[in-house]
C-alpha cells in the first residue's frame, strides 16, 4: 500500500476536496438551537441529583459530621461521607493506585478524615431535586480539628525541595546540556530576570459534570464532561474493579476543557458511588465555585532565567529555574523548561525545578502546559537582550534560529518559523516600529509593539477509527474522540468526505462514546492529527477491500487488474495507466449485493505518508518516526498595545498571529481556535489571577465576577494566518494540531509590547493597571 497515492496528491489544494475549506460547523445548527446534548443534559428515568459539600478549612481532621438535619430534609436520599462511601477496589491514595488509575491527583476525597485543601469534598448529598440537594448540603455540619495550613511556596515556612521528576514523572527535575554554568560565567553579555505567574483556572463555559447510571450491578454508563473518554473509562474501571468494557463513557459535546477535563477528577467516581448507594441514576454538576477546587489549575510559580550571549546576540547559555506550589502528595509542575531548551540554537542549557508542598489540590495541565509560562520567560528575556544590545527583537530571534532541534540534533520534520516571522511582520507592519522603547505616544496613550515566538511539540499518540461506506453513497465514520467545541465533528467529516470521494453532507461522523473505536485524549493538540489520520487510514482499508473485490469481479472493468495498478480518484477506482477504465464504488457494491463495507484504521504519531509506517500495523512503542525527525509546530505573534500613561491600563489594539502547524483541516475552525488561544493568552497576560488567601489557603475570588477573563471589549480584531506545511513525517494527514500552540508566546508578546510602550518591564503576570502604574511612576 506504500505505492498508494497519498492524501496530499489526490485531495490537496486544487484537487477539489473539502479538507482545508472553511466549512461551517456541522454541529452548529444543533448547538445554537439547543438540540446538541451536553453531558449533563440527558433526560433519564428516575434521575436524582448530587451536590458536593466542600471543606471550609484547608488543613485538619474531620472530627465529626452531623448529617441529621440534611437527611431530614424532604427528598434527600443519601449523604455520603468518608464514613459510608461504598468501597472502591482501588484508590489513587498510593502511587501504585494513582498510576494504575491514571489519576491526576494522589488523593481521593471521602476516603479519609484528613482535610488537605479548602474546598475538598467532605460530603455528597443526593436528593430528588437539585435545589433540595443544594439546600441539604448546606445543612451538613462538619466539626474539624483545624490546623494551620500552608498556602504556597512563597510562605516563609514552605519547605522547598528538588524533585527527581515533575509532571507525574514525565519531566526530570534537573537537566543539563553542555556546561551552561561555565558558558554563562564566561559569556560577554549576561541577562538575568525573574518572572512570576499567578494561579490560573481553566474556567470552561461548561463546568465539570457526571451523570452515572448503573445499568446492572456490574455495568455502568457515565455521561461525562471529559476530554478523554478512554482515560475516564480506564480510571473508573480500575477504581471499581470492573472490566473496562463494562464501563461506558459518553461525551457527545463539550463546552471547553483547556486541560481541566483531561483527567478523571474526584467528583466523577464519587458520583458513580453515589449512584450505587441510592440505586438510581445520579447527576452531579460542579458549581462555578467548585470548579476552582475540583479540576486542577495552573500553579503559582516563579521562574528565573539567566542568559549568556555574545555581543552580537548569539546565545551561549540558558539557565532556568522554576519554583512552584504542589499538593501534599504529587510532584506536579508544568514543564516550562521544554520550550526554553528548544526554541533557539543555544549550545548549553540547564534547568531545575523546585517544589513546595502546600494545602492545595494538585495542579494540572492548563492550555499549553509548560509552554505558556515557559515562553513568557524566554520571550521576555530575549526581548530584553535585544534592547540591551540594540538589536531588533525579531532580528535577535533570527540570529538564534534553530535550523535543527538543539536538544537532540535531529532535523525538524518541518518548520516554517522563518516564514511565520516574515509574514507576520509584513501583515503587522513591524518595519514601521520605532526601535526605541517608551518613545511613541498618542495623546494620553503610550503605544507599544511587541512580538514573540510560539512552539509546541507534536506528542506521541495513536488512535483508531472505523469507516462504514454504504452502497447508496453515504458513510458513517466513527472514533471515540471528543469535540471540545473546537470542530472535531466538522474536520473529521471533511477528512472522511475527501478520503471517500463523497460530499460532506453524505458523511456522518460520530464521536464521544467508549463503544466506538479508541481515540486519544483531546489534549496536547493530538486529537486533530491522530483522529484525522485514523479516519484517512480506515478509508484506505475500505478502498483496499473494494479494489480486491473489483479485480475479482468478472463484471468489473478492473477485473484481473493488479491491486497496485488501481488507484482511487474521488469515489472511483481506476487504472493508473488508463484512468478511463474503472468504476465507482456504488456500481461495484450494488452488483455484488453489498449494502455496506467497513474499514478500520490506526492513525499514529510518526507514521507519516513518507515514513513507511502509514498505514502499517500498530506500533505504539515507537517514540519517533523512522527518519528520526523532531516534530513541532511553530508560530509568531505580533501585537500593539495602548497603555494609559497615568492610570496604567493596557489595551491590546492590534494582533497578528501566523503559525506553521502542518495541514490545516478547516480554515474557519482553525482561525477560531487560534483566536481563542490568543484571547486565553491575553487573559493570562493582563487579568487572570486566582488569589489564595495566605492565612486560610482558600481561594477568595472563585467566581467569574472576581476572576477576570477577557470580555469582547478587551479584544481587538485579529489577523490569523497559516503557513502551508506538507509535513510528510508526523502522521498520515500531516496535521500537527493547534489547540495548545495558539496560546504559547501570547503573554510574552503582550508584555513585550507593554515594555516597548513604556520602557518598563513588568515580569509578574497578570500585568494589571496597578503594576503598570507602579513602574511608570518610578
Tell me the catalytic residues: 740
Interatomic CA distance for residues 641 and 653, integer angstroms: 5
Of 120 and 352, nearer to another protein (C-beta) is 120
Task: Tell me the closest approach of the beta carbon of residue 433 to another protein, in angstroms.
Answer: 24
Task: Tell me the closest approach of the beta carbon of residue 131 to another protein, in angstroms.
Answer: 7
Task: Tell me the closest approach of the beta carbon of residue 711 to another protein, in angstroms.
Answer: 5
Task: Tell me the closest approach of the beta carbon of residue 768 to another protein, in angstroms.
Answer: 6
Interatomic CA distance for residues 392 and 382, integer angstroms: 10
**Number of alpha carbons in the 13 Å side-chain half-sphere of residue 92:** 24
Of 577 and 713, nearer to another protein (C-beta) is 713
Of 13 and 774, nearer to another protein (C-beta) is 774
Which value, to the nearest 10 degrees, does the dihedral of the CA atoms of residues 382, 385, 387, 392 take? Answer: -50
Binding residues for another protein (CB under 8 A): 56-57, 118, 131, 134-135, 138, 289, 646-649, 651, 686-687, 691, 693-696, 698, 700-703, 705-706, 708, 710-714, 768-770, 773-774, 777
Q: Are strands 650-660 and 718-722 parallel, antiparallel or unpaired?
A: parallel
Contact partners, residue 766, CB within 8 Å, separation at least 6: 198, 683, 684, 685, 686, 687, 688, 689
- 245: exposed, middle or buried (C-beta count within 10 Å: 0-12, 13-18, 19+)? exposed
CB crowding 551-586: b at 16 or more within 10 Å, else e: bebeebbbeebeeeebbbeebbbbbbeeeeebbbbe
Task: Tell me the closest approach of the beta carbon of residue 697 to another protein, in angstroms.
Answer: 11
| C-alpha grid cell, residue 716 | 481587538
Of 178 and 769, nearer to another protein (C-beta) is 769
Task: Tell me the closest approach of the beta carbon of residue 56 to another protein, in angstroms.
Answer: 4
Look up cell 513525517; give the residue: 729
- Yes or no: say if 102 and 231 are a contact pair by the CB < 8 Å rule: yes
Of 12 and 766, nearer to another protein (C-beta) is 766
- 128: exposed, middle or buried (C-beta count within 10 Å: 0-12, 13-18, 19+)? middle
Of 494 and 768, nearer to another protein (C-beta) is 768
Of 595 and 700, nearer to another protein (C-beta) is 700
- 724: exposed, middle or buried (C-beta count within 10 Å: 0-12, 13-18, 19+)? middle
Interatomic CA distance for residues 20 and 75, integer angstroms: 53
Instruction: Compute how many other C-beta atoms are within 10 angstroms of the C-beta atom of residue 84.
Output: 13
Interatomic CA distance for residues 427 and 637, integer angstroms: 11
Interatomic CA distance for residues 405 and 628, integer angstroms: 11
Task: Tell me the closest approach of the beta carbon of residue 706 to another protein, in angstroms.
Answer: 6
Q: What angle do CA 271, 80, 293 make, to 5 degrees?
A: 60
Amino acid at each position: 500500500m506504500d505505492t498508494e497515492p497519498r492524501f496530499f496528491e489526490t485531495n490537496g489544494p486544487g484537487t477539489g476536496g473539502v479538507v482545508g475549506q472553511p466549512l461551517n460547523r456541522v454541529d452548529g445548527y444543533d448547538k445554537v438551537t439547543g438540540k446538541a446534548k451536553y453531558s449533563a443534559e440527558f433526560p433519564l428515568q428516575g434521575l436524582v441529583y448530587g451536590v458536593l459539600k466542600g471543606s471550609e478549612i484547608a488543613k485538619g481532621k474531620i472530627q465529626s459530621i452531623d448529617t441529621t438535619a440534611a437527611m431530614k430534609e424532604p427528598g434527600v436520599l443519601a449523604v455520603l461521607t468518608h464514613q459510608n462511601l461504598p468501597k472502591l477496589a482501588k484508590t489513587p491514595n498510593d502511587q501504585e493506585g494513582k498510576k494504575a488509575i491514571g489519576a491526576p491527583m494522589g488523593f481521593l476525597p471521602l476516603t479519609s478524615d484528613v482535610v488537605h485543601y479548602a474546598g475538598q469534598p467532605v460530603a455528597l448529598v443526593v436528593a430528588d431535586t437539585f435545589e433540595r440537594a443544594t439546600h441539604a448540603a448546606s445543612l451538613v455540619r462538619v466539626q474539624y480539628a483545624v490546623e494551620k495550613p500552608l498556602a504556597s511556596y512563597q510562605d516563609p515556612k514552605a519547605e522547598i525541595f528538588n524533585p527527581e521528576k515533575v509532571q507525574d514523572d514525565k519531566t526530570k527535575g534537573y537537566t543539563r546540556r553542555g556546561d551552561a554554568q561555565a558558558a554563562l560565567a564566561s559569556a560577554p553579555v549576561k541577562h538575568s530576570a525573574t518572572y512570576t505567574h499567578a494561579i490560573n483556572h481553566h474556567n470552561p463555559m461548561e463546568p465539570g459534570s457526571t451523570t452515572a447510571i448503573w445499568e446492572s450491578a456490574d455495568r455502568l454508563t457515565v455521561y461525562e464532561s471529559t476530554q478523554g473518554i478512554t482515560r475516564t473509562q480506564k480510571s473508573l474501571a480500575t477504581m471499581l474493579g470492573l472490566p473496562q468494557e463494562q464501563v461506558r463513557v459518553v461525551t457527545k459535546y463539550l463546552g471547553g476543557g483547556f486541560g481541566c477535563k483531561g483527567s478523571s477528577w474526584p467528583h466523577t467516581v464519587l458520583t458513580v458511588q453515589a449512584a450505587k448507594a441510592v440505586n438510581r441514576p445520579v447527576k452531579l454538576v460542579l458549581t462555578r465555585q467548585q470548579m476552582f477546587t475540583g479540576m486542577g489549575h495552573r500553579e503559582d510559580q516563579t521562574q528565573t532565567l539567566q542568559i549568556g550571549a555574545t555581543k552580537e546576540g548569539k546565545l551561549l547559555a540558558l539557565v532556568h529555574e522554576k519554583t512552584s506550589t504542589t499538593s501534599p502528595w504529587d510532584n506536579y509542575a508544568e514543564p516550562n523548561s521544554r520550550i526554553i531548551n528548544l526554541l533557539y540554537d543555544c549550545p548549553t542549557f540547564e534547568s531545575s525545578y523546585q517544589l513546595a508542598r502546600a494545602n492545595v489540590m494538585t495542579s494540572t495541565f492548563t492550555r499549553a502546559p509548560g509552554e505558556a509560562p515557559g515562553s513568557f520567560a524566554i520571550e521576555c528575556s530575549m526581548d530584553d537582550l535585544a534592547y540591551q544590545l540594540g538589536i531588533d527583537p525579531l532580528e535577535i530571534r533570527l540570529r538564534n534560529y534553530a535550523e535543527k532541534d538543539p536538544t537532540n540534533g535531529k532535523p525538524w520534520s518541518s518548520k516554517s518559523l522563518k516564514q511565520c516571522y516574515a509574514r507576520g511582520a509584513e501583515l503587522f507592519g513591524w518595519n514601521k516600529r520605532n526601535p526605541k522603547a517608551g518613545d511613541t505616544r498618542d495623546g494620553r496613550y503610550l503605544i507599544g509593539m511587541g512580538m514573540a515566538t510560539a512552539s509546541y511539540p507534536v506528542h506521541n499518540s495513536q488512535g483508531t477509527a472505523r469507516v462504514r461506506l454504504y452502497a447508496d453513497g453515504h458513510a458513517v465514520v466513527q472514533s471515540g474522540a471528543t469535540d471540545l467545541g473546537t470542530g472535531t465533528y466538522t474536520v473529521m467529516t471533511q477528512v472522511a468526505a475527501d478520503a471517500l470521494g463523497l460530499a460532506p453532507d453524505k458523511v456522518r461522523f460520530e464521536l464521544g462514546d467508549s463503544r466506538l473505536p479508541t481515540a486519544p485524549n483531546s489534549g496536547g493538540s493530538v486529537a486533530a492529527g491522530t483522529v484525522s489520520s485514523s479516519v484517512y487510514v480506515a478509508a484506505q482499508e475500505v478502498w483496499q477491500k473494494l479494489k480486491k473485490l473489483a479485480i475479482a469481479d468478472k463484471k468489473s472493468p478492473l477485473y484481473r487488474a493488479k491491486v497496485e495498478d488501481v488507484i482511487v480518484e474521488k469515489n472511483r477506482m481506476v487504472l493508473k495507466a488508463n484512468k478511463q477504465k474503472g468504476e465507482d464504488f456504488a456500481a461495484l457494491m450494488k452488483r455484488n449485493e453489498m449494502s455496506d463495507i467497513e474499514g478500520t484504521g490506526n492513525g499514529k504519531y510518526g507514521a507519516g505518508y513518507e515514513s513507511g509506517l502509514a498505514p502499517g500495523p500498530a506500533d505504539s512503542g515507537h517514540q519517533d518516526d523512522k527518519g528520526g525527525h523532531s516534530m513541532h509546530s511553530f508560530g509568531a505573534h505580533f501585537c500593539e498595545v495602548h497603555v494609559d500613561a497615568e492610570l496604567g491600563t493596557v489595551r491590546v489594539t492590534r494582533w497578528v498571529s501566523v503559525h506553521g502547524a502542518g495541514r490545516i483541516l478547516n480554515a474557519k475552525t482553525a482561525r477560531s481556535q487560534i483566536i481563542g488561544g490568543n484571547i486565553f493568552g491575553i487573559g493570562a497576560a493582563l487579568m487572570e489571577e486566582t488569589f489564595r488567601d495566605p492565612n486560610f489557603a482558600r481561594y477568595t475570588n472563585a467566581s467569574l465576577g472576581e476572576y477576570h477573563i477577557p470580555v469582547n471589549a478587551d479584544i481587538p480584531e485579529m489577523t490569523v494566518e497559516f503557513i502551508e506545511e506538507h509535513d510528510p513525517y508526523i502522521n498520515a494527514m500531516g496535521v500537527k494540531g493547534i489547540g495548545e500552540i495558539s496560546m504559547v508566546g501570547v503573554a510574552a508578546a503582550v508584555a513585550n509590547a507593554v515594555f516597548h510602550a513604556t520602557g518598563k518591564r513588568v515580569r509578574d503576570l497578570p500585568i494589571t493597571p496597578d503594576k503598570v502604574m507602579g513602574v511608570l511612576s518610578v
